[in-house]
Amino acid sequence: MTTWENGNVRFLNEQPNYDLTYNDVFMAPNRSSVGSRMNVDLTSTDGLGTPLPLAVANMTAISGRRMAETIARRGGIAILPQDIPADFVARSIRRVKGAHTRFDTPVTVNPTTTVGEAMNLLNKRAHGVVLVIEDHRPVGLVSPAEAEGVDRFAQCHEVMTTDLTLVGPDASPDDVFQALAERHQKVAVAVDETGVLVGIMTSRGALRTEIYRPAVDPDGRLMIGTAIGINGDVAGRARSALDSGSDVLVMDTAHGHQDPMIRAIGVADKVRTAFQEKTGRRIPIVAGNIVTRRGTLDLLEAGADIIKVGVGPGAMCTTRMQTGVGRPQFSAVLECAEAAAEADGAIWADGGIRHPRDVALALAAGAGSVMIGSWFAGTHESTGAMLVDHDGRLYKESFGMASARAVRHRTRQRSAFERARAALFEEGISQSKMYLDPQRPGVEDLVDFITSGVRSSCTYAGAANLEEFHEKAVIGVQSPSGYEEGRPLQRSWT
């Protein structure tokens, strides 16, 4: 097999003299000694060392406490948006840090909560139940089965089932799975020795707990990151985030290769250094977004550890159509990853992820982790309210972080005139429907889908971990019809 080298990536056929998107490329299989995809280690290569190379984008419509808890339990990390007030960020971080690393946080109500209110809360998580608690102790649960045909003003204690599967906080996933199978129930409720609620776990959750490792900080608590804008009180925001327990600082702006970003990284670096001197822990700084070698090297030199790569590929982004600025994402990741490696840094591939193959291709190109935004918007755990269209399909609204909607929120402290002026210049969609996939309505379902594909990609490449994957992957260039040929058919072609 003849291959052409481009940095650390091998190409099956000669690389064209134009930039490539994820759709433009594919991977060729290699001889492999990796016996099972479950033997593949997906630990990120970005220096964070999260068990999965997945980061949830710092978008207001997507990333919040529920998302952060859930993704961290399965090995990834979520980044809280920069638009959230500092005190709210601090509370969210503390709640994530206080969450159990194995048992999920349930939606809870009290016995006098109405059935209608309980059912409205049901879509906050993917468990399909609402737990009724009294004095911090579980007394029953309500699911759509108990609520069916019941007056919405009835109280939960009137309809709840009290037949609960109770387990201890140290119960193994196998113990939980077996207990639920024997009792033919969906959810196990974990309580401590005094009967106080610890969390819940479904049968599928038990399986996932066995498969995935949580992303935890040195104290064994779930990891979470915080985005900070490059204007305003950068030092104050960074200090508040670190004091609250943030594991990553993400210096975030649409155009990362600019002097204000360089200055903001310097400010955050000083805060980070003071925090390290006090605690002995060095917190990584992520900065972006950029798409060039020069941009990567400049931000790393300024003090960043990880560079966020991507301008224009996101589903909510209109930058390329409005400004002509951006770059096809696969080539941007390829070039920036090579530059970062030369400077002992790393990159996150941010944007353009629509299929598991895109995650695999970004990692093959050298990304240390992959950031996902809009794909995660249509899940139970995203921050938006659950809505129903005229066909009865569930969806959530998403919007770009440079859209007029986001700008209005970000400038809410300014004068009416300044806000109106800022709203004239938007780059991004202000309202988009992100439908829940009936087969994968929760972010964990999507994580299963993604990691299954990436693990298989590694076995095809003959790689036991992501470092080997980047070294061994062979990339080919294909025509649009080549891409279409690989798409599955939902119905017969006749």
Residue 226's contacts (CB-CB under 8 Å, 6 or more residues apart) are: 79, 80, 89, 93, 241, 244, 246, 248, 249, 250
> Whole-angstrom Cα distance, residue 231 to residue 362?
30
The binding site for K(+) consists of 312, 314, 317
Sheet holding 474-477, edge to edge: 4-6, 9-11, 474-477, 25-28
> Whole-angstrom Cα distance, residue 58 to residue 289?
12
> Whole-angstrom Cα distance, residue 138 to residue 196?
7
Cis peptide before 289 (omega within 30 of 0): yes
The binding site for NADP(+) consists of 252-254, 310-312
Helix, strand counts (H, E) of the chain: 19, 21
Q: Which residues are catalytic?
A: 317
- Tokens 């710092």 identify what position? 58
CB atoms within 10 A of CB 416: 7
Residue 171's contacts (CB-CB under 8 Å, 6 or more residues apart) are: 179, 188, 190
What is the maximum alpha-carbon separation in the chain?
A: 71
- Dihedral (CA of 456, 461, 463, 467) sign: negative
The binding site for NAD(+) consists of 252-254, 310-312
Helix (H) or strand (E) holding 348: strand 346-350
The binding site consists of 252-254, 310-312, 314, 317
